[in-house]
């Protein structure tokens, strides 16, 4: 707040007092020190014709005070005997602006002095946001309403960019301003500037936003994420924010006034403080990791009248060596799974094969020993052909059983060989059409594998 101090003046001068109603405990001192001290002092303050504060009979009089000023006015009573009739107005509002008159009267003279009270709510900050289609600038608690303008770097035809500005007031009479600018695809990587200029042109707040091109880097290799201002700042702060699947996190913060650095990623990322003083706040990642460091990085420079944001999406890819190792590991597991499946199938089928083999062996033995016995070289069984056939089948059974075992021990199992082993040779069948003599006697049965051939 800037207080207008009124010196000893004659009747009717104008003086100006300016204050900010948004400041905590804001008050305006409307000074009036022009009257000559004397007995029976009368003081009246008015805003145009509205009673603001009165003093006579050596005390404050609130009977005629307008309720708008109730509880917010006071005089410097101890200074009244010295000719000071200044008014202190507390908790200044936008509605308090205007012309005030101070009337003083003593037995020696009457006097009037006018004071003009201006109320300004300064532009405290400008918030800027950017999406794929829109960039927005906004600020609150401003009075009077500011002017908003746009610019880009590189320069572009702003007439072709559609923008709209909305100004609204709250119950205190303060303005909230929001301005939007539609982003053209071809200009999405430009730097966008918005300027909030106060009504009296004495204050300008600037905000900028830039979406940089995406950065892709293989993990394990150092990476620098650029954050460079077009114009250097003094007395600024720099904040780096990282956003992934969780809420945004402040990872690094630097204050140029204290040169203090807060680093949540100590050992993983750092800033170059010498370059920072030149407006280069680039972030260096030493060994970025695919899972921990892929995401959105936001760099924010904040000064007294400026705020600049640069946003970059970073994709850290998996190292190629790691990909090969993962492929080999997947191939090994696939092979192991296939081998386990084959082994399980063999184990499950083995008992059934063994039972079948035993049954075949018993069946062959039963066939071989089931022929008729000989007495005196003559068959007791009149069906000699049946006896011959039994002996032939038994011989063939033993031969196939031996071949089956030999095949199990061999590593070469082709379909052609398996078929040859399973089928008896035609030459063998032709040669063994009929025995030339009686079977050899022994063990009370027929020796199926010993037949005389012609």
pLDDT at 57: 93
pLDDT at 32: 64
> Domain end: 211, 227, 260, which one?
211
Percentage of the chain modeled with pLDDT above 90: 47
> Domain end: 211, 245, 262, which one?
211
Residue 416 has pLDDT above 70, yes or no: no
pLDDT greater at residue 135 or residue 3? 135
- For residue 118, with 0-12 CB atoms within 10 Å meaning exposed, 13-18 middle and 19 or more buried, which class applies? middle
Least reliable range by pLDDT among 2-11, 258-267, 397-406, 417-426: 2-11
pLDDT at 414: 47
Q: Which CATH number covers residue 20?
A: 2.60.40.10
Q: Indicate whether 419 belongs to any domain.
A: yes
Of the ranges 156-170, 223-237, 369-383, which is most confident?
A: 223-237
CA 142 to chain centre: 33
In this prediction, residues 211-234 reach a mean pLDDT of 90
Residue 398 has pLDDT above 70, yes or no: no
Q: Indicate whether 408 belongs to any domain.
A: yes
Residue 156 in 3-state DSSP?
Answer: coil
Q: Within a 10 A sphere around the Cβ of 179, how many other Cβ atoms?
A: 22
Mean of the per-residue pLDDT values of the chain: 77
pLDDT greater at residue 102 or residue 445? 102
Do 385 and 368 have their domain in common? yes
Do 87 and 29 have their domain in common? yes
- Residue 327 pLDDT level (bands cut at 50, 70, 90): low
Do 402 and 428 have their domain in common? yes
Least reliable range by pLDDT among 183-197, 314-328, 352-366: 352-366
In this prediction, residues 322-330 reach a mean pLDDT of 57
CA 249 to chain centre: 9
pLDDT at 393: 46
Residue 441 has pLDDT above 50, yes or no: no
Q: Tens of pLDDT along 30-42?
A: 776 567 878 889 9
Spell out the residues 6+ positions from residue 365 whose beta carbon is closer than 8 angstroms to its own.
Answer: 394
> Domain end: 317, 345, 380, which one?
317
Do 107 and 35 have their domain in common? yes
- Domain residues for 57? 14-119
Percentage of the chain modeled with pLDDT above 70: 70
CA 219 to chain centre: 18
pLDDT at 16: 67
Q: Indicate whether 349 belongs to any domain.
A: no
- Residue 156 has, within 13 A of its CA and on its CB side, a CA count of 20
pLDDT at 87: 93
Number of residues in the chain: 454
Residue among 23, 70, 27, 35 at smallest CA distance from 51: 70
Residue 276 has pLDDT above 50, yes or no: yes
Q: Indicate whether 346 belongs to any domain.
A: no
Residue among 451, 336, 453, 331 at smallest CA distance from 390: 451
Do 362 and 436 have their domain in common? yes
DSSP character at residue 448: T
Contacts 24+ apart (CB under 8 A), 69-78: 73/45, 75/43
Tally the domains of the chain: 4
Q: Tens of pLDDT along 197-222?
A: 999 999 999 999 999 999 999 998 99
Residue 360 has pLDDT above 70, yes or no: no
Q: Indicate whether 395 belongs to any domain.
A: yes
Confirm if 186 and 286 have CB atoms less than 8 A apart. no
Least reliable range by pLDDT among 268-272, 343-347, 385-389, 430-434: 385-389
Confirm if 101 and 113 have CB atoms less than 8 A apart. yes
In this prediction, residues 231-246 reach a mean pLDDT of 89
Rg (CA), the chain: 53
C-alpha pair distances (Å), 230 with each of 208, 278, 310, 336: 10, 10, 12, 60
pLDDT at 378: 40
Residue 393 in 3-state DSSP?
Answer: helix
Spell out the residues 6+ positions from residue 328 whose beta carbon is closer than 8 angstroms to its own.
Answer: none
Do 192 and 226 have their domain in common? no
Do 74 and 90 have their domain in common? yes
Tokens 């720099």 belong to residue: 238
**pTM (predicted TM-score):** 0.63
Do 229 and 250 have their domain in common? yes
pLDDT at 260: 93
Residue 435 has pLDDT above 60, yes or no: no
Q: Give the residue ranges of DSSP H helices in 159-305.
A: 273-276, 290-293
Residue 1 has pLDDT above 70, yes or no: no
Do 427 and 406 have their domain in common? yes
- Residue 116 pLDDT level (bands cut at 50, 70, 90): very high
Confirm if 274 and 282 have CB atoms less than 8 A apart. no
Do 177 and 151 have their domain in common? yes
- Residue 261 pLDDT level (bands cut at 50, 70, 90): very high
Do 140 and 198 have their domain in common? yes
Q: Indicate whether 425 belongs to any domain.
A: yes
pLDDT greater at residue 160 or residue 315? 315
Q: Indicate whether 280 belongs to any domain.
A: yes
Q: Indicate whether 175 belongs to any domain.
A: yes
Do 236 and 179 have their domain in common? no
pLDDT at 330: 66
């Amino acid at each position: 707040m800037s207080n207008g101090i009124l010196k000893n003046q004659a009747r009717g001068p104008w003086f100006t007092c300016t204050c900010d109603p948004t400041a905590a405990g804001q008050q305006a001192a409307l000074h009036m020190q022009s009257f000559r001290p004397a007995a029976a002092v009368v003081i009246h303050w008015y805003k145009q014709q509205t009673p603001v504060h009165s003093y006579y009979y050596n005390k404050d009089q609130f009977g005629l005070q307008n309720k708008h000023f109730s509880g917010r006015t006071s005089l410097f009573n101890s200074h009244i005997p010295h000719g000071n009739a200044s008014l202190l107005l507390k908790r200044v509002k936008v509605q308090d602006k205007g012309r005030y008159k101070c009337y003083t009267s003593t037995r020696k003279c009457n006097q009037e002095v006018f004071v003009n009270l201006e109320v300004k709510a300064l532009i405290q900050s400008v918030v800027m946001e950017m999406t794929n289609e829109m960039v927005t600038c906004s600020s609150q608690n401003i009075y009077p309403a500011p002017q908003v303008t746009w610019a880009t770097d590189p320069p572009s035809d702003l007439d072709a960019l559609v923008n709209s500005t909305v100004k609204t007031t709250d119950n205190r009479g303060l303005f909230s301003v929001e301005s939007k600018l539609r982003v053209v695809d071809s200009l999405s990587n430009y730097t966008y500037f918005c300027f909030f200029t106060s009504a009296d042109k004495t204050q300008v707040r600037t905000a900028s936003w830039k979406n940089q091109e995406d950065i892709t880097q293989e993990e394990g290799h150092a990476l620098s994420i650029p954050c460079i201002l077009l114009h250097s700042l003094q007395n600024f702060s720099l904040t780096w924010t990282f956003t992934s699947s969780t809420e945004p996190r402040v990872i690094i913060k630097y204050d140029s006034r204290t040169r203090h650095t807060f680093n949540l990623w100590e050992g993983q990322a750092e800033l170059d403080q010498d370059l920072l003083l030149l407006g280069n706040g680039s972030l260096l990642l030493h060994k970025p990791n695919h899972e921990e460091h892929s995401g959105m990085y936001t760099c924010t420079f904040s000064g007294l009248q400026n705020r600049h944001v640069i946003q970059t999406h970073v994709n850290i890819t998996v190292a190629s060596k790691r990909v090969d190792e993962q492929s080999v590991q997947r191939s090994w597991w696939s092979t192991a799974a296939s081998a386990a499946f084959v082994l399980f199938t063999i184990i499950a089928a083995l008992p059934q094969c063994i039972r079948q083999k035993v049954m075949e062996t018993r069946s062959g033995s039963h066939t071989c020993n089931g022929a008729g016995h000989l007495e005196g070289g003559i068959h007791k069984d009149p069906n000699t052909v049946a006896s011959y056939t039994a002996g032939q089948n038994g011989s063939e059974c033993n031969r196939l059983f031996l071949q089956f075992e030999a095949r199990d021990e061999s590593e070469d199992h082709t379909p052609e060989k398996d078929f040859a082993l399973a089928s008896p040779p035609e030459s063998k069948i032709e040669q063994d059409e009929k025995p030339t003599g009686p079977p050899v006697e022994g063990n009370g049965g027929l020796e199926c594998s010993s037949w005389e051939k012609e």
